[in-house]
């Protein structure tokens, strides 16, 4: 077994801007009615813990990060301007699904931005990995299938 010299790796003193997709579950099948025009995608986001900034925008991509659309609903802590914030922001996005679609596969990515102008920078887990395996702030990506009843 290889020994790791942990002393050469800096400790982590803050949390970076991060987000996650909670629903739909990865590799799941979402069944919608013949009249539904969208599928709800939802998740969480957190700001920079060191600066106390709050996530106030989450964007969603369905084309591998070429184009992005802002989430439509947010639940977040109401705070006074200038105050630090150390809380989650919950978000929802309604993914359009054509009524002509009987079954379709989707891959969805998310990225978060704070009121301090910071964004979630790591595009994949490979670029956000660190030796301790902590604070990987890559843009989450999930795949799922939508079918009509």
**Any idea which fold 14-148 has?**
Immunoglobulin-like (2.60.40)
Residue 120 has, within 13 A of its CA and on its CB side, a CA count of 30
Rounded Cα–Cα distance for residues 86 and 94 (Å): 27
DSSP the chain: -PPP-GGGSPPP-S---EEEEEESPTT-EEEE-TT--EEEEEEEEE--TTTT--EEEEEEESSTTSS-EE-SEEE-----TT-----EEEEEEEEE--TT-SEEEEEEEEEEEETTS-B--B-SHHHH--TT-----BPPEEEEEEEE-
Position 131 scores a pLDDT of: 56
Look at the pTM and tell me if it is higher than 0.95: no
Residues of the chain with pLDDT under 50: none
Contact present, 42 and 92 (Cβ < 8 Å): yes
Position 2 scores a pLDDT of: 76
Position 132 scores a pLDDT of: 57
Position 45 scores a pLDDT of: 94
């Amino acid at each position: 077994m290889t020994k790791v010299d942990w002393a050469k790796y800096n400790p982590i003193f803050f949390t970076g801007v991060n987000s996650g997709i909670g629903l739909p579950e990865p590799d799941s099948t979402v069944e919608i009615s013949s009249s539904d025009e969208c599928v709800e995608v939802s998740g969480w986001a957190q700001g920079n813990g060191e600066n106390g900034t709050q996530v106030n925008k989450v964007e969603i991509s369905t084309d591998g990060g070429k184009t992005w659309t802002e989430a439509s609903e947010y639940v977040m802590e109401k705070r006074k301007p200038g105050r630090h914030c150390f809380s989650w922001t919950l978000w929802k996005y309604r993914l359009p699904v054509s009524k002509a679609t009987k079954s379709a596969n989707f891959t969805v990515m998310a990225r978060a931005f704070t009121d301090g102008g910071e964004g979630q920078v790591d595009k994949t887990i490979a670029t956000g990995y660190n030796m301790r395996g902590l604070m990987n702030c890559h843009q989450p990506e999930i795949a799922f299938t939508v079918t009509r009843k």
